Amino acid sequence: GAYSVKVVVSNPGFRQALVTEVIERLVPDGDEPHLIRAAAVAGEILAQEFRGEDDAIFSTVSGEKVFLHVLEFGFKSLRRADLERVVGSELEGVLPIDLDEMVYAFEQIPRLPEAAVVLASPGDDEVTLVSEVQKAPVPLGLVAAPAAGMRVLTAATQRVRAEEFLQALRANGVEPRGLLAAPAPYARLADKITYSEQLILGIIDIGHMRSDVCLSTGGKPIYARSIARGGHHLTRLLSKTWNLDYRRASEAKHSDGFVVSQQYPAPSEGAARISAVLEKELMPLVREIRRTLAACRAKTGFSADKLILVGGGSRLRGLAAYLGENLQMNVELLDQETSVRLLGEAASMAGLDTCALALGAALDGSSAKPSFDLRQGDLAFKTDLSFLRTKIPAIAISLVAIMAFGVVSAMTGVSKLRSAEETLDRRIALESS
């Protein structure tokens, strides 16, 4: 993250991954690029907290470094290898990157269910999308019809960027097995928050420098976007308005920050003044979120039934109600019960609201095959077999034991065959006599 490095440790289980630890450390200020400073923090965490060689490390690539795009094809099924070539050629035509300089990943978007229907009367200029799950109309706008073939959500980035990211991590002793394109991992988190496969849940993560939006259903991302606005912009606006240094403006935002809404009116005149200032920066964010939801409807046909607000910026008092009123949607915060259910005892280490992306990546990495992994082709993770050296004696003893059991089994089989042969010889002698 732009503000801190979050690490979630999970142990894969038979049914679900068990979260055992949550770590968050701030990225220090400095003249070096942010990636170098953040990679150094990640290296310190792994060097101090983990010693095992069998740990599988997964890292997220922030959304502003990734192109997210929806592609539609006329065919309904195709082999994965063939589909990969088709997706690559299509991305080369819509992105300003040559195919040889690109790494990309993709997943098929679930087909539009019957739960979402479009109601329109002949001659009407307006179309209303009604969700059978939410039992209420969603904002008007262009809605994509069900695809004749398939739609896929793609994530792509420049190979040079991915190599720089990996090199910075390797320099600090970190070798990730996968580079998961944000904001896609939020889909795994959304699947744990709700158990309904029909519910279209949107995760909005208000971070320090950017805000991530991911809509998903059944653990599969439908649409995702990263918006270059976050808590930093609110702090900067407060600093400029009242001529405060950045640190004092940040403290004022945390202690006195408030956003007025119909549900939560201003408790004092000071809160009303702060809200008036913050709204100058929040309105562009609301506009971009509204555009994201409209783009999802226009490109996939899906519309969010509910939005969950996470991230450090979600702690701004009144923000959830403010977004809900302006977006005309149900916007909720994560409650403590959900945090305890997902994080277990680790919920006391850090709030789920600030480590949502890391938890989604941990859940994705604990699965059989993480989605939207940008370590593809030449950048694919090469398995290190050095750990076998420490197990050679045990492996040799096991092989000798297996061979010994095999010899004993063979000798027993031969003895049984000889006994059967003697019995048959006696029967033949008797019958022939």
Whole-number Cα distances in Å, 231 to 115, 207, 281, 350: 36, 6, 10, 19
**How many whole angstroms separate alpha carbon 134 and alpha carbon 125?**
24
pLDDT in tens, the chain (433 residues): 899 999 999 888 766 778 888 999 999 999 999 999 999 999 999 988 876 566 889 999 998 899 999 999 998 888 888 999 999 999 999 999 999 999 999 999 998 865 444 443 334 444 444 444 444 444 456 888 888 899 999 999 999 999 999 999 999 999 999 999 999 999 999 998 886 777 899 999 999 999 999 999 989 999 999 999 999 999 999 999 999 999 999 999 999 999 999 999 999 999 999 999 999 999 999 999 999 999 999 999 999 999 999 999 999 999 999 999 999 999 999 888 888 888 888 877 777 788 999 999 999 988 878 889 999 888 988 764 444 555 678 888 999 999 999 999 999 999 999 999 999 999 999 999 8
Burial code (b: 16+ CB inside 10 Å, e: under 16) for 204-219 equals bbbbbbbbbbbbbbbb
Q: Are 144 and 127 in contact (CB under 8 A)?
A: no
Task: List, in order, residues 6 or more apart from 291 with CB less than 8 Å away.
Answer: none
Nearest-5° angle of CA 67, CA 68, CA 71? 120
Please answer whether residues 176 and 57 qualify as being in contact, where contact means their C-beta atoms are separated by less than 8 angstroms: yes
| Separation CA 248–CA 254 (nearest Å) | 10
The string over 22-45, giving b where at least 16 C-beta atoms fall within 10 Å of a residue's C-beta and e elsewhere, is: bbbeebeeeeeeebebbbbbbbeb
β-pairing, 136-137 vs 128-131, is: antiparallel
- Integer Cα distance of 304 and 292 in angstroms: 11
Q: Where are the alpha helices (DSSP H) in 5-158?
A: 34-49, 80-94
**What was the pLDDT predicted at 257?**
94
User: Which amino acid is residue 106, in one-letter code?
Assistant: F
Task: Record the tokens describing residue 7, joined without a space.
Answer: 């690490």
Quick one: pLDDT at residue 14? 67
Residue 51's pLDDT is 61
What values do phi and psi take at 246, rounded to 5?
-60, -40
Closest CA to 180 of 30, 341, 357: 357
For 426, the enclosing helix (H) or strand (E) is helix 392-432
Cα 337 to the chain's mean position, in Å? Answer: 21
* 60 class by beta-carbon count within 10 Å (0-12 exposed, 13-18 middle, 19+ buried): buried
b/e sequence 318-344, b meaning 16+ C-beta within 10 Å = bbbbbbbebbebebeebeeebbeebbe
What does the alpha-carbon distance between residue 415 and residue 419 come to, in Å, rounded to a whole number? 6
| Residues ≥6 apart with Cβ < 8 Å to 269 | none
